[in-house]
Chains A and B, each alone.
Chain A
């Protein structure tokens, strides 16, 4: 580098060469203009009679110049010997090409005898001769009807007159046929995208129940429910949600069982969602529940068709979202979160025993760490002296207060749990073992936490896994921290008052008009529902809080084989 170059570099201005992108915010006028444009875009437009106009419209709407998977197939169609220009619109990868070739393009394009005669286009339906005058009843030839009835050997075809209808179905995997001179288009079902097959449930494992789980495809899910319910009174209404995604949602109920007001309320809430997109049942749940401020779940989410069918037969309403392998069951009550499909499959004594265990698990999951902190900080007299000494001895080397210890362990536990879920499945269990054994052991050896606390946190963790409903278990995990804090601040006073507020809020919460605590309160007689199951022959009624159209589930004497000599009127 010469001297001149150095001087030039030092004293001459060189423009900045760094690439710097900034997203500029639109001005108010721009936004207004854009909104107006979008409004115009969203307006319904009728299909034109001119094919070229339709073609232009479709191409501009789908941005076919830059959209790689939008296919417009132009061809000539033969009907009654006449040729018409036509095109098919579909999305590559969402249709079954074999169906399209064999059942749409082939019949429309290839010549066949019956379609060739160029006779009078009008068809004589009947003819009568009176006083030498022939009266003929003639049906005018209608190209649209002819194509629909004679040229399209396809099970689901419908005529659409609006572009929005056509686009909606094309986006779902159908194809649209536009024909010159017709102001209607044919919406033909040729869906053929790849989908997951029905597999075993992953999150709700049962011992004695069915081993089928919902998948992402809504039709597969509705068929799974239909197969279980097997009744023509099962209604599956289709509701589109989302301005952009127009996600198909299904509202399922049994017409002769579900309370009409309940069904109307669910339908009302679904029809009044003004959102751009709806991608999962979790999103839908948050959009329709009564109270989002508290974390208590207010719907039951399940991946099991048998559980869904069982709730349907109780008179509840089911919601399915296309793309989500979960069904939402409404309304829900508190005890539903502690029940599993296996409960009804097992002997009553077995299921009631595990139900007791689950109550204990709920209690431990919510309160155990808080109680430990309260006892360690304020109520040491509760512990027997020997145990107290051993706890004190184990805490002797720990330099931190009990709240720090427990928060450290609880947060570590949550980290391990979160990591276990997020990492690839082969590594997941390893993380649990590493976390539980190595970190726990090391923390005790290093004198950061006491061994008693490891036991407390471990019991709490196991208890939270014993709670069957994931959302409810999560809710308990969240509130556990509140009780730890209350226990540390005020001991049993804090826990007692926290519990009182919790119970009060719980009692006030409703799921689709039904109190969440229905069936719990000892003073409210709830016919047909109790947390603990009665023997199967005594489960005669549906839960009274659901106010189902049919209260009785089975006759008073359901096992008639046992009492063959009873009169008919005595068994009812």
Chain B
């Protein structure tokens, strides 16, 4: 187990990786289509709510030291609830990662491999997952921590590289479709912070569990900053994205960067970095899925599962017939799916477990008396 322990900074990277990878595909586009020119304000608003929720999660997890949500659900409802919660979160990780993978691969197909079957683009990712799943958890986290700074730099570079092309008037009207759409129905944009789901599973892996508060808050704040950079780049660069079904908007934004005569089209280099990022995301979700499965089935070793989960992701990624279906699922179903599981179900489990613990605490002193 000592081999699988990670530092608090690595844990922050892990959570932010989940946030970031969705921005590479259509997340900024979905946010923009929901709240139009008010997206930046809306993001700050939902970001604050996400920070509060992250703090709530920290407070709820605090009473259970190094236990994750699976252990906590076992405490709450025994093995049955543990299996149900585990199953739901495995489904969540598998479905979201397969959807993201398919979406990204569709984007890759449009950008680089128009004549290639989607199967051939998906397979290399799955092969890499086979390899990384055989390795230790800490090595996976180290890999992510080596890659993540590159991704962060790429987005900052993208923002400042495009700065000359920005039209700041696109931020207006400030409230987009109106106050209600920005602050009431716009609260739905919180699905962007789905990376919070990792917070439920991180405690057992932490070298210093007392750093959980720092991890919860820092990861959401870094993620929020990152979202702001990405969304601002797209909002200020192309207004038409709000309505047009374009794949990989950040990739399109990268093609506008120009550095002299030599570097005119750098988007492929950005794509190289983002491929690494998507790979990192898949590594994280896979490892969490495997770890949950190990817990609910009491398996000692993770290596026998190394191939099963990537194959599951591969199979589910192939289910949607075309890109339109994926986009439909992404914008109409997955957002609610994420909100329901990450922000409602997860917090509810933790809340009930805390209630039970408090009740037990109250009962115990009476018995002693």
Is A497's CB under 8 angstroms from B268's CB?
no
Interface flag for A158 (CB, 8 Å): no
Is A523's CB under 8 angstroms from B13's CB?
yes
Interface flag for A14 (CB, 8 Å): no
Chain-B contact segment, one of A171-179, A374-382, A459-467: A374-382
Chain A, 521-542, contact with B by CB distance < 8 Å: what is the 0/1 string? 1111000000000000000000
> What total of chain B residues lie within 8 Å of the partner, measured CB to CB?
42
Is A523's CB under 8 angstroms from B280's CB?
no
Complex Cα distance A493/B279, Å?
Answer: 10
Interface flag for B142 (CB, 8 Å): yes
Interface flag for A495 (CB, 8 Å): yes
8 Å CB contact of A496 from B9, B121, B139, B279: B279
Complex Cα distance A148/B143, Å?
Answer: 64
8 Å CB contact of B147 from A381, A493, A500: A500
**Chain B residues with CB below 8 A from A515, complex form:** 139, 142
Instruction: Knowing A384-B262, A492-B268, A523-B7, say if A504 contacts B275 (CB, 8 Å).
Output: no
Interface flag for A559 (CB, 8 Å): no
Interface flag for B355 (CB, 8 Å): no
Interface flag for B214 (CB, 8 Å): no
Is A505's CB under 8 angstroms from B131's CB?
yes
Is A381's CB under 8 angstroms from B268's CB?
yes
Interface flag for B136 (CB, 8 Å): yes
Complex Cα distance A67/B10, Å?
Answer: 66
Chain B, 117-150, contact with A by CB distance < 8 Å: what is the 0/1 string? 0000100110110011001101110110111010
Is B143's CB under 8 angstroms from A504's CB?
yes
Interface flag for A360 (CB, 8 Å): no
Interface flag for B283 (CB, 8 Å): yes
Taking CB atoms and an 8 Å cut-off, the chain A residues in 502-523 that contact chain B are: 503-505, 507-508, 515, 517, 520-523
Complex Cα distance A523/B218, Å?
Answer: 14
Interface flag for A494 (CB, 8 Å): yes
Instruction: Knowing A501-B132, A508-B135, A524-B7, say if A384 contacts B261 (CB, 8 Å).
Output: yes
Interface flag for A150 (CB, 8 Å): no
Chain A, 457-492, contact with B by CB distance < 8 Å: what is the 0/1 string? 000000000000000000000000000000000111
Is B275's CB under 8 angstroms from A497's CB?
yes
Taking CB atoms and an 8 Å cut-off, the chain A residues in 38-76 that contact chain B are: none
**Chain A residues with CB below 8 A from B149, complex form:** 522
Interface flag for A433 (CB, 8 Å): no
**Chain A residues with CB below 8 A from B358, complex form:** none
Complex Cα distance A501/B269, Å?
Answer: 18
With both chains docked as a complex, state the minimum distance between the C-beta of B41 and any C-beta of chain A, in angstroms.
32
**Chain A residues with CB below 8 A from B140, complex form:** 504, 507
**Chain A residues with CB below 8 A from B266, complex form:** 382
Is A504's CB under 8 angstroms from B139's CB?
yes
Interface flag for B184 (CB, 8 Å): no
Is A507's CB under 8 angstroms from B146's CB?
yes
Interface flag for A499 (CB, 8 Å): yes
Complex Cα distance A496/B267, Å?
Answer: 14
Interface flag for B210 (CB, 8 Å): no
Is B145's CB under 8 angstroms from A521's CB?
yes
8 Å CB contact of A382 from B124, B145, B268, B275: B268
**Chain A residues with CB below 8 A from B268, complex form:** 375, 378-379, 381-382, 492
Is A378's CB under 8 angstroms from B112's CB?
yes
**Chain A residues with CB below 8 A from B136, complex form:** 508
Taking CB atoms and an 8 Å cut-off, the chain B residues in 264-287 that contact chain A are: 264-269, 271-273, 275-276, 279-280, 283
8 Å CB contact of A503 from B9, B112, B146: B146
Is B142's CB under 8 angstroms from A507's CB?
yes
Is B145's CB under 8 angstroms from A522's CB?
yes
Interface flag for B108 (CB, 8 Å): yes
Is B264's CB under 8 angstroms from A384's CB?
yes
**Chain A residues with CB below 8 A from B146, complex form:** 503, 507, 517, 520-522
**Chain B residues with CB below 8 A from A381, complex form:** 265, 267-268
**Chain B residues with CB below 8 A from A500, complex form:** 128, 132, 143, 147, 275-276, 279-280
Complex Cα distance A492/B271, Å?
Answer: 8
With both chains docked as a complex, state the minimum distance between the C-beta of A136 and any C-beta of chain B, in angstroms.
69
**Chain A residues with CB below 8 A from B125, complex form:** 497
Residue of B nearest to A490 (CB): B124
**Chain B residues with CB below 8 A from A490, complex form:** 113, 121, 124
Residue of A nearest to B267 (CB): A381
Is A492's CB under 8 angstroms from B276's CB?
no
Is B131's CB under 8 angstroms from A501's CB?
yes
Is B139's CB under 8 angstroms from A508's CB?
yes
With both chains docked as a complex, state the minimum distance between the C-beta of B226 and any C-beta of chain A, in angstroms.
17
Instruction: Knowing A379-B268, A381-B268, A508-B135, say if A492 contacts B147 (CB, 8 Å).
Output: no
With both chains docked as a complex, state the minimum distance between the C-beta of A290 and any C-beta of chain B, in angstroms.
12
**Chain A residues with CB below 8 A from B121, complex form:** 490, 493
With both chains docked as a complex, state the minimum distance between the C-beta of B179 and any C-beta of chain A, in angstroms.
41
With both chains docked as a complex, state the minimum distance between the C-beta of B227 and any C-beta of chain A, in angstroms.
21
With both chains docked as a complex, state the minimum distance between the C-beta of B276 and any C-beta of chain A, in angstroms.
5
**Chain B residues with CB below 8 A from A521, complex form:** 142, 145-146
**Chain B residues with CB below 8 A from A495, complex form:** 272
Instruction: Knowing A379-B268, A520-B146, say if A501 contacts B9 (CB, 8 Å).
Output: no
Complex Cα distance A385/B264, Å?
Answer: 9
Taking CB atoms and an 8 Å cut-off, the chain B residues in 185-213 that contact chain A are: none
Complex Cα distance A504/B143, Å?
Answer: 5
Which of A379, A491, A492, A494 has the most chain B CB atoms inside 10 A of its CB?
A: A492
Chain B, 2-20, contact with A by CB distance < 8 Å: what is the 0/1 string? 0000010110010000000
Is A523's CB under 8 angstroms from B143's CB?
no
With both chains docked as a complex, state the minimum distance between the C-beta of A491 and any C-beta of chain B, in angstroms.
6
With both chains docked as a complex, state the minimum distance between the C-beta of A559 and any C-beta of chain B, in angstroms.
34
Is B135's CB under 8 angstroms from A497's CB?
no
Is B275's CB under 8 angstroms from A503's CB?
no
**Chain B residues with CB below 8 A from A524, complex form:** 7, 10, 142, 145
**Between-chain CB contacts (< 8 Å), 8 pairs:** A382-B269, A384-B263, A384-B264, A491-B113, A492-B112, A492-B271, A494-B124, A496-B276
A residues engaging B (CB < 8 A)? 375, 378-379, 381-382, 384-385, 387, 490-497, 499-501, 503-505, 507-508, 515, 517, 520-524
B residues engaging A (CB < 8 A)? 7, 9-10, 13, 108, 112-113, 121, 124-125, 127-128, 131-132, 135-136, 138-140, 142-143, 145-147, 149, 261-269, 271-273, 275-276, 279-280, 283
Given A497-B125, A497-B275, A523-B9, 16 more A-B residue pairs with CB atoms under 8 Å apart are A382-B265, A384-B262, A387-B262, A491-B113, A492-B112, A492-B271, A493-B108, A493-B275, A496-B272, A500-B143, A501-B131, A504-B135, A504-B139, A505-B135, A507-B146, A524-B142
- Nearest 6 pairs of A and B residues by beta carbon: A496-B275, A508-B139, A507-B142, A508-B135, A507-B139, A523-B9
